[in-house]
C-alpha cells in the first residue's frame, strides 16, 4: 500500500496558487483566491480548499469566469459600497469587496459592501476571520448555484446560502465564528463522499424525483459535475427561510443573479459583507473582557455523560488550523490526483509525475 500523502499548509497553498495561474487567473486574483482556499484547507474544511480547483477549471473553460475582470466600485457612501465584479473568479473578487467593508468600518464604524457579477466565493468564514482578526465583527453571505428546491417544491431554484458571523477574540479566549451552509450539509460534502466511496447520511440530500437518498451519484452527475438531485435545507422550513432571506441580502439587494438567472455553476452571483467596529458601541477592551467571561462560562459548564469537552463556535476549526500549520496533514489522494491532472493538462509537470512529485516540499 502506498504511503499517505503528508503535506504542509504552505505547500498546498503554493500548488493552489500555481494551478490558478495555469488556468489563466492573473497573479493578484490568483493570490487572493489561493489565500481564500487555503483558509479552508488549513481549518479542516477540506471541501472548500484545493479540492475546488477542478470546479474552477471547469467554470473557466465553460466561460462562466472572466479571466480579465474589471472589478468596479459602482456606488459608495461613508458606510456602504456597491461593486460589479464583472464575473471574475469569486474566491478572489469577493476578497476585494470584503476588504472594502472592513475599510469603511475602520473609518466610520460600519461598513456594508455588496456586489453583483460574482461567482462561487468559497468558504464564507474566510472573510469574517479576516474581519475578526482586525477587531471587527464580520458577517458574510452569498447565494450559490442551484442546489435546493423550495420546501414543498420539486424545481431547484435556490442555493444553499453560505454565511458566516465572526467576533474578535477576547483578551484570553479564541474568536468565535459561525460558518455554515443553510442546507444540512454543503454540496462539497456530496463530492467528498463520491471521492471516498462513501454513502450519504440520511437527511442530507434528495434524488431527482425528490426522494431521500444515501447514494451520492443520485445527487451529483459525475459525468457533467452537475446537480442531478438536490440538497435538503437544514431544519426543513427554517433552513429554507434562512436561504431565502440570505439570498435577498446577498442577491436581490445588490441586483445580482438569483434562481434561473444564475449562469451555470455560479455566474452572476452576489456578495454581502458587513463589518462592524465594536468601539462605536463601547470600548473594545470591555467587549473583550465580556467575551472572555462568556466563552469560559460556556466552556466550563456542566457536561452530559460521555462528553469530554464543550466547544464554542469555530473552536474546533481553530484547533485544527493550529495543528495543521505546525504539523501538516494528510491530503486525500483523490483530491491530490485532481490537482495533478490539472498540472498535466496544462503541461506544467511531467506526464509521469505522481502526486508525491507535485506536493514535494
Rounded to two decimals, the pTM is 0.94
**What band does 9 get if pLDDT is binned at 50, 70 and 90?**
very high
DSSP string, 255-313: T---GGGSBTTTBTEEEEEEEE-GGGTS-HHHHHHHHHHHHHHHHTS---TT------T
Q: How confident is the model at residue 227, as a pLDDT?
A: 81
Residue range 301-312, pLDDT digits in tens: 999 999 999 999
On whether residue 70 sits in a domain, the answer given is: yes
Q: Is the pLDDT of residue 344 over 80?
A: yes
Distance CA 143, CA 270 (A): 7
Helix/strand/coil for 133: coil
107 and 15 share one domain: yes
69 and 89 share one domain: yes
Q: How confident is the model at residue 224, as a pLDDT?
A: 77
CA distances (Å), origin 227, targets 147, 155, 163, 263: 7, 12, 21, 14
Cβ neighbourhood burial of 103 (10 Å; 0-12, 13-18, 19+) = middle
CATH at residue 228: 3.30.60.50
- Per the prediction, the chain carries an average pLDDT of 96
Mean pLDDT value across residues 289-298: 98
124 and 213 share one domain: no
Q: How confident is the model at residue 154, as a pLDDT?
A: 79
81 and 137 share one domain: yes
On whether residue 334 sits in a domain, the answer given is: yes
Residue range 28-80, pLDDT digits in tens: 999 999 999 999 999 999 999 999 999 999 999 999 999 999 999 999 999 99
Distance CA 114, CA 73 (A): 10
221 and 133 share one domain: no
Residue 267: count of CB within 10 angstroms of its CB: 22
Q: Show which of 170, 205, 232 is a domain's final residue.
A: 232
Is residue 174 a contact partner of residue 314, using CB atoms and an 8 Å limit? Answer: yes
Residue 47: count of CB within 10 angstroms of its CB: 21
* Angle between the N-to-C axes of helices 27-42 and 315-327, in degrees from 0 to 180, rounded to the nearest 10: 110
On whether residue 177 sits in a domain, the answer given is: yes
On whether residue 291 sits in a domain, the answer given is: no
Residue ranges making up the domain that contains 31? 6-183+233-281+323-358
On whether residue 129 sits in a domain, the answer given is: yes
On whether residue 52 sits in a domain, the answer given is: yes
Distance CA 87, CA 67 (A): 8
132 and 221 share one domain: no
33 and 55 share one domain: yes
Q: Show which of 232, 265, 294 is a domain's final residue.
A: 232
Q: How confident is the model at residue 163, as a pLDDT?
A: 97
**What band does 94 get if pLDDT is binned at 50, 70 and 90?**
very high
On whether residue 293 sits in a domain, the answer given is: no
Q: How confident is the model at residue 222, as a pLDDT?
A: 78
Chain Cα centroid distance, residue 312: 20
Residue range 254-269, pLDDT digits in tens: 999 999 999 999 999 9
What whole-number percentage of the chain has pLDDT above 90? 88
220 and 154 share one domain: no
Q: How confident is the model at residue 88, as a pLDDT?
A: 98
Distance CA 346, CA 348 (A): 5
How wide is the angle at C-alpha 81 spanned by C-alphas 118 and 69, nearest 5°?
A: 35
Q: Show which of 200, 232, 264 is a domain's final residue.
A: 232
Is residue 31 a contact partner of residue 91, using CB atoms and an 8 Å limit? Answer: no
113 and 257 share one domain: yes
- Grid cell locating 62: 465553460
**What band does 152 get if pLDDT is binned at 50, 70 and 90?**
confident
Q: How confident is the model at residue 39, as a pLDDT?
A: 98
Mean pLDDT value across residues 215-220: 92
Asked which of 118-132, 157-171, 178-192, 319-333 is least confident by mean pLDDT, the reply is 178-192
Q: How confident is the model at residue 186, as a pLDDT?
A: 82
Residue range 309-338, pLDDT digits in tens: 999 999 999 999 999 999 999 999 999 999
Q: How confident is the model at residue 1, as a pLDDT?
A: 52
In three state form, how does the secondary structure of 87-104 look? CCCHHHHHHHHHHHHHHH
Domain count, the chain: 2
Give residue for cell 504542509. 8
CATH at residue 75: 3.30.1370.60
What whole-number percentage of the chain has pLDDT above 70? 99
246 and 136 share one domain: yes
DSSP single-letter state for residue 232 = P
165 and 248 share one domain: yes
39 and 90 share one domain: yes
On whether residue 296 sits in a domain, the answer given is: no
Amino acid at each position: 500500500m502506498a504511503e499517505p500523502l503528508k503535506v504542509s499548509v504552505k505547500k498546498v497553498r503554493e500548488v493552489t496558487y500555481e494551478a490558478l495561474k495555469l488556468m489563466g487567473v492573473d497573479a493578484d486574483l490568483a493570490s487572493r483566491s489561493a489565500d481564500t482556499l487555503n483558509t479552508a484547507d488549513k481549518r479542516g474544511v477540506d471541501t472548500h480548499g484545493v479540492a475546488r480547483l477542478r470546479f474552477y477549471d471547469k467554470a473557466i473553460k465553460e466561460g462562466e469566469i472572466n479571466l480579465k475582470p474589471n472589478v468596479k466600485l459602482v456606488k459608495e457612501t461613508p458606510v456602504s459600497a456597491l461593486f460589479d465584479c464583472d464575473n471574475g473568479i469569486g474566491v478572489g473578487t469577493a476578497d476585494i469587496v470584503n476588504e472594502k467593508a472592513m475599510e469603511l468600518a475602520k473609518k466610520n464604524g460600519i461598513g456594508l459592501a455588496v456586489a453583483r457579477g460574482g461567482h462561487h466565493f468559497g468558504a464564507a468564514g474566510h472573510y469574517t476571520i479576516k474581519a475578526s482578526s482586525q477587531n471587527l465583527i464580520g458577517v458574510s453571505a452569498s447565494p450559490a448555484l442551484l442546489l435546493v428546491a423550495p420546501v414543498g417544491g420539486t424545481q431547484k431554484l435556490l442555493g444553499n446560502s453560505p454565511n458566516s458571523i465572526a467576533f474578535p477574540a477576547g483578551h484570553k479566549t479564541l474568536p468565535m465564528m459561525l460558518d455554515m451552509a443553510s442546507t444540512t450539509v454543503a454540496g462539497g460534502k456530496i463530492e467528498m463522499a463520491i471521492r471516498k466511496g462513501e454513502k450519504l447520511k440520511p437527511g442530507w440530500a434528495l434524488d431527482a424525483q425528490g426522494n431521500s437518498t444515501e447514494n451520492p451519484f443520485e445527487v451529483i452527475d459525475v459525468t457533467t459535475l452537475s446537480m442531478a438531485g438536490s440538497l435538503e435545507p437544514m431544519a426543513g422550513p427554517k433552513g429554507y427561510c434562512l436561504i431565502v432571506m440570505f439570498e435577498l441580502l446577498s442577491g436581490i439587494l445588490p441586483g445580482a443573479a438569483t434562481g434561473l438567472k444564475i449562469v451555470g455553476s455560479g455566474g452572476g452571483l452576489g456578495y454581502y459583507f458587513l463589518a462592524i467596529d465594536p468601539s462605536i458601541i463601547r470600548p473594545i477592551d470591555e467587549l473583550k473582557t465580556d467575551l472572555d467571561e462568556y466563552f469560559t462560562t460556556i466552556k466550563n459548564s456542566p457536561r452530559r455523560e460521555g462528553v469530554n469537552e464543550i466547544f464554542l463556535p469555530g473552536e474546533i476549526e481553530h484547533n485544527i488550523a493550529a495543528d495543521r500549520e505546525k504539523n501538516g496533514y494528510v491530503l486525500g489522494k483523490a483530491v491530490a490526483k485532481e490537482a495533478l491532472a490539472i498540472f498535466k493538462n496544462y503541461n506544467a509537470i511531467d506526464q509521469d509525475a505522481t502526486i508525491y512529485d507535485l506536493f514535494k516540499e
